[in-house]
Amino acid sequence: MSHASPKTVAVSTEPGALAYYLLEFETPDAIRSAARRVNEAGWTRWDTHTPYPIHGLDATMGVRPTVLPVIVFVCGCLGALTGLALQWWANASDPANFKFIPTFLQGYHFLISGKPYFSLPANIPVIFELTILFSAFGAVFGMLGLNFLPDLYNALFNSRRFARVTDDRFFISLDARDPRFDERKTREFAETLGAAVVEDVRHSPWTAPPQWMVHVGVVASIVALVPLALIARSWTAKSPLPRFHIVQDMDNQERYKAQMENPIFADGRATRLPAEGTVAIGELYEDTHYWYGLVDGKPAETMPERVELNEALMERGRKLFDINCSACHGYDGAAYGAIRVRADAIGNVLAVRSFYERSVMEKSVGHLFNTITNGFQTMPAYGHRVSTEDRWAIVAYVRALQRSRSASVDDLTTEERARLR
């Protein structure tokens, strides 16, 4: 329309009542000249219709700048504030201060590793996403609202000539709801604008929808209630069956399991045998001393030959010990790590062995290696997360810790003994 908020007068919309004068033009210059005269005449409810954009036509019509950017900006700000508030509520709000709110609406008040309950940088991604989401909603629905869409009926579509507006004709529509509209005077004014044709566009008579459409609508409305009824039933009823997942991607993955039929291969089997005449390389693990810590089926008393004891290995063992073992055993191996201290503080019993107990110091290196690999009592297995070489490095470091508590003068060099005197 020519203005964002045009004035309107009440006119008849009864079947056959005049709705528009539709002016047809054959060239862009003709419609541009006519649009200038209509705007100068003070019309507010009128519009131009062209098959493609015409440069300068908006200015000629006196179209005001749209308020859509303001709507988008406001929606973006609301989205940012919503994202900020939701994250603060979920992570930082203390339920003890909001006891009047239902439990399922309260925040979690999570304390994670001593971090602050709320930190703005960590919340920026969600704030950004909601800013974009709300801005998109504002742009789409704002555009629809400003254009009074969806418009399920417009009398202009009763004109056969108007169908060429998307092809090769240009039109101006003068709305009967405009305060300046007078059927006789407006017709005379329209005929002075140089239009090839001036057509009266009238409201079409109302016709009842076909009976079959009514029946389909009733049936569709009833069927649409079925999913809601099933959801309500599953919400309130009890069932011995597990929950049904609508998206079955994780429950039923598109892959072949062992012993399943597989049409890809000639024998129809999913499980494949090793290629005939080949030998696997790198997974034979013949050196049981190195791979399993066993010698003749018993825990090894010495380190494997392929493990070179040097300062680099000990430093590697110390780092891995600090990462994987110190939480329970402590950095010194005395069984007072952070988890053990916490367990004692809350009254829980945690069976953590000190490396300096006689029974532990008497264990062979193979036994220590097996314990690290497969776990023991409450200690989990680390064989799947720590490589074989690194497990031996940890064993070497544990032996060094034990030796440090039971060192004797014989372990010192002559120069070191001299300094002690």
DSSP 14-82: STT-EEEEEEEESSHHHHHHHHHHHHHTT--SEEEE-SS--TTHHHHHTPPPPSHHHHHHHHHHHHHHH
In the chain, what's the furthest Cα-to-Cα distance? 127
What is the reported pLDDT for 249? 80
What is the reported pLDDT for 10? 56
Tell me the mean pLDDT in the region 352-363.
89
Q: 181, 207, 233: which is the final residue of a domain?
A: 207
What is the reported pLDDT for 47? 96
Query: Is 251 a member of any domain?
Result: no
Q: How far apart are CA 95 and CA 109, in angstroms?
A: 7
Q: Are residues 302 and 201 in the same domain?
A: no
Query: Is 123 a member of any domain?
Result: yes
Q: How confident is the model at residue 308 (pLDDT cuts 50, 70, 90)?
A: very high
Q: Are residues 317 and 172 in the same domain?
A: no
Q: Are residues 185 and 66 in the same domain?
A: yes
The count of structural domains within the chain is 2
Is residue 42 pLDDT above 90, yes or no? yes
Q: Are residues 166 and 301 in the same domain?
A: no
Q: Are residues 200 and 299 in the same domain?
A: no
Q: How far apart are CA 193 and CA 31, in angstroms?
A: 9
Q: Are residues 195 and 306 in the same domain?
A: no
Q: Which secondary-structure segment (H or E) carries 314?
A: helix 311-324
What is the reported pLDDT for 143? 96
Q: Are residues 182 and 325 in the same domain?
A: no
Is residue 124 pLDDT above 80, yes or no? yes
Is residue 386 pLDDT above 90, yes or no? yes
Give me the amino acid identity at 148.
Answer: F
Query: Is 171 a member of any domain?
Result: yes
Question: How many Å separate Cα 93 from the centre of its chain?
Answer: 23
Tell me the mean pLDDT in the region 90-94.
89
Q: 207, 223, 245: which is the final residue of a domain?
A: 207
- Structural domain containing residue 101: 1-207
Q: Are residues 54 and 175 in the same domain?
A: yes
Query: Is 376 a member of any domain?
Result: yes
Is residue 41 pLDDT above 80, yes or no? yes
Q: 160, 182, 207: which is the final residue of a domain?
A: 207
Is residue 3 pLDDT above 50, yes or no? no
Q: Are residues 8 and 140 in the same domain?
A: yes
Query: Is 74 a member of any domain?
Result: yes
